[in-house]
Amino acid sequence: MYFTYTNSIWRNLKNFIHENSVIRRKFSSEVKQEVKFDNFIEFRRAQASRSILVQVQSENSYVDLCNYCSKFGDIIGAHHYELKDNSNYILIEYKTLESIKEVLDSAHYNLESTGIPAYSPLLWFKAAGVVKGNSVKLLNDSNKKGILKISNGLYQTREADVMELILSAENVSDQIKTLHELTKLNDLEIRLRFLAAKQIENSISGIFPKASALPFGSSVNGFGKMGCDLDLVLRFNQGIVKDNINSRLVFHTKENLTNERSQVQKQMECISDILQIFLPGITSVRRILQARVPIIKFHHLLLNLDVDLTMSNMSGVYMSELLYILGEIDHRIRSLIFVIRKWAQSVGLTNPSPGRWITNFSLSCLAIFFLQNVKHPLLPPIDLLNKSATINDIRITENGLNCTFLRDHSILDFRTENNSELSELLLQFFEFFSQFDFSNKAISMNKGSAIIKPDHSSIYIVNPLEPNLNISKNISLEECERFRIEVRNAAWILDNEIENAKSNSKSTTKLWGIANLFKTSQETVIKPNFFFKPRMVEIKNLFDDKDEEKVISDENDHLNIKESVKTLETNLTKKFKINKTSDR
């Protein structure tokens, strides 16, 4: 017997999965018409603005807490979770923003502690009996129990349980779907990510009331796995609209003419101090300011998150939007990328720390490129999204990157005729990259085809938003070779598994299907060539500026960029106006 479980563990697990899928279905039906990336982000940001997080004694405190909190307004949801240290939290969502103001105005600081009195939506619930709640007014359900939507919402299905459910699937394609369903980010995890962003935004709102902290990367691009890091970009001026341009009153500001890069580094030092010194829950703050994209890394104890905060431009957000849109085009894409990421992690191709190995982001790009090149493509070249953009899709970053592409894929002139099962697509992915000529060819998702490699990088993936940059520049020759060996192994294994699954009856006790792909590299069929240098690298080498291509270095560059952003915006707007007239 491969795994043995008592009935009660099974029941709990199945209940949990059922509960979660009900929530997901409910959420997806709530936002179905708002599936555009901007709407999704706005929906989640608004939800976070109407939410507070309260530390409680245990899950049982929720009736008391909801009783107490409902005097500040209608509560529309409560989500409980417990962390490894047995601390318990309930996230409460109010119907209106006014309630948050009331609830925070009513809260007080613990006068016996030496804590710094920071104002944030992270609170704790004082022991019972101190203040009694008034009459209960619950929006969804007069029964208080009905308000707790999720209990233990950060519960991650154990690896062994995921495997057991994979083994009980019908066929290889179902295994892939099961893996996706069980491991993708859930509703509560997304809520906590947006709450983390809100906490940072609030902390500087005095001087920067228009500041936005925006999640990007796998937390929002549809490829996020439970427990993935949160990537955040903090922009001081994101909410500044050009509408006020005619106002005769202009804010006094400090001149910001010095080298933009060193200016950003200074600002980040300051922000990292605010996070470290003042914000509850934020710990282990580290600055990596010499990198091409300087970042602040920290851990959020109460929200259970590892966060990378940048203050660079919006390109990461637009890149996430692009991946989100591509993932929306066909229902197979996200499941396929999930199984590829999981496979790469299992065989040791990816690694949580940065290094010379392939990243999840590069893997997703490889999968996208494959889907553009498969017989009957599932995805169009990105150039088609660029060409199909409308005037509402114009986005230019502050440093002049043109991130204009069609946001509403439903009007895209592209339909796939590919009816392949997920299992076939996965096999074709492995076969495709077993034969890909990485030595001479670069991958262009914009063109949807291979192009001549511009330099000697081991793998060259053209960044679709910054075509002069290579997304996979970090990958060493050795890691590229390991990738080629592992895709060949995987193709060989999967081919056999698909054949066997057709003829043999499936077993829930013996490994079969994709479970056989998830073996550690020690178990692989072909061993990597040990001729290459060891994989570990010095962290400082990763952030060596000499290695980087585009560094904005002086005041003139800064002014030139402002100028060219303006010209680009004007030209694009003109172009759209001309097109519109000629369309008529």
Residues that bind Mg ion in the complex, under the rule CB under 5 A: 217-218, 229, 231
Q: Which residues contact 231 (CB under 8 A, 6 or more apart)?
A: 215, 216, 217, 218, 219, 307, 308, 310, 316
Q: Select from Mg ion, ligand CTP, none the partner in contact with residue 216, using the beta carbon and a kind-dependent cut-off of 5 to 8 Å.
A: ligand CTP
The residue within the footprint of ligand CTP, chosen from 37, 125, 216, 369 (CB under 6 A), is: 216
Shortest Å, Cβ 422 to Mg ion: 24
Look up residue 227 and give its DSSP letter. Answer: T
- Cα angle 381, 378, 432 (rounded to 5 degrees) comes to 85
CB nearer to ligand CTP: pick between 161 and 231: 231
CB nearer to ligand CTP: pick between 148 and 344: 344
Distance CA 166, CA 510 (A): 11
Q: x/- contact string, 312-331, with ligand CTP (CB under 6 A)?
A: ----x--xx-----------
> HEC profile for 3-37?
CCCCHHHHHHHHHHHHHHHHHHHHHHHHCHHHCCH
Look up residue 542 and give its DSSP letter. Answer: H
CB 405 within 8 A of CB 377: no
CB nearer to ligand CTP: pick between 88 and 399: 399
Instruction: Establish if 229 lies at the interface with ligand CTP (CB under 6 A).
Output: yes
Distance of CA 410 to the CA centre of its chain: 23
Shortest Å, Cβ 216 to ligand CTP: 6
Distance CA 389, CA 410 (A): 12
Shortest Å, Cβ 328 to ligand CTP: 16
The residue within the footprint of ligand CTP, chosen from 221, 346, 372, 457 (CB under 6 A), is: 221
Which helix (H) or strand (E) segment is 360 a member of? helix 360-373
**Amino acid, single-letter form, for residue 28:** S
Q: Which residue reads 């409910």 in tokens?
A: 26
CB nearer to Mg ion: pick between 153 and 217: 217
- Of all residues in the shown chain, the one whose CB is closest to ligand CTP is 217
Residues 461-480 that bind ligand CTP (CB under 6 A): 471
Shortest Å, Cβ 379 to Mg ion: 22
**Amino acid, single-letter form, for residue 24:** R
Instruction: Establish if 424 lies at the interface with ligand CTP (CB under 6 A).
Output: no
Q: Please tell me the total number of residues recorded for the chain in this structure.
A: 584
Nearest by Cα to 332 from 423, 464, 432: 423
The residue within the footprint of ligand CTP, chosen from 73, 77, 153, 217 (CB under 6 A), is: 217
Q: Select from ligand CTP, Mg ion, none the partner in contact with residue 436, using the beta carbon and a kind-dependent cut-off of 5 to 8 Å.
A: none
Q: Select from ligand CTP, Mg ion, none the partner in contact with residue 359, using the beta carbon and a kind-dependent cut-off of 5 to 8 Å.
A: ligand CTP
Instruction: Establish if 202 lies at the interface with ligand CTP (CB under 6 A).
Output: no
Shortest Å, Cβ 229 to Mg ion: 4
> HEC profile for 83-148?
CCCCCEEEEEEECCHHHHHHHHHHCCCCCCCCCCCCCCCEEECCCCCCCCCCCCCECCCCCHHHHE
Distance from the first to the final alpha carbon of the chain: 70
Largest CA distance in the chain: 78
Shortest Å, Cβ 74 to ligand CTP: 35
Residues 80-109 that bind ligand CTP (CB under 6 A): none
Nearest by Cα to 49 from 189, 241, 201, 190: 201
Distance CA 484, CA 476 (A): 13
CB nearer to ligand CTP: pick between 23 and 233: 233
CB nearer to ligand CTP: pick between 221 and 423: 221
Q: x/- contact string, 355-384, with ligand CTP (CB under 6 A)?
A: ----xxx-----------------------
Helix, strand, coil % over all residues of the chain, rounded to 5: 45, 10, 40
CB 359 within 8 A of CB 474: yes
Instruction: Establish if 228 lies at the interface with ligand CTP (CB under 6 A).
Output: yes
Q: Which residue reads 């002014």 in tokens?
A: 559
**Amino acid, single-letter form, for residue 264:** V
Shortest Å, Cβ 216 to Mg ion: 8
CB nearer to ligand CTP: pick between 76 and 347: 347
Shortest Å, Cβ 473 to ligand CTP: 8
Q: Select from ligand CTP, Mg ion, none the partner in contact with residue 53, using the beta carbon and a kind-dependent cut-off of 5 to 8 Å.
A: none
Pairing of strands 295-300, 305-310: antiparallel
Distance CA 344, CA 373 (A): 21
CB nearer to Mg ion: pick between 311 and 442: 311
Q: Select from Mg ion, ligand CTP, none the partner in contact with residue 316, using the beta carbon and a kind-dependent cut-off of 5 to 8 Å.
A: ligand CTP
CB 332 within 8 A of CB 173: no
Q: Select from ligand CTP, Mg ion, none the partner in contact with residue 340, using the beta carbon and a kind-dependent cut-off of 5 to 8 Å.
A: none
CB 184 within 8 A of CB 114: no
Instruction: Establish if 405 lies at the interface with ligand CTP (CB under 6 A).
Output: no
Q: x/- contact string, 13-42, with ligand CTP (CB under 6 A)?
A: ------------------------------
Q: How many residues bind ligand CTP (CB under 6 A)?
A: 14
Name the residues that contact ligand CTP, by CB under 6 A: 216-218, 221, 228-229, 231, 316, 319-320, 359-361, 471
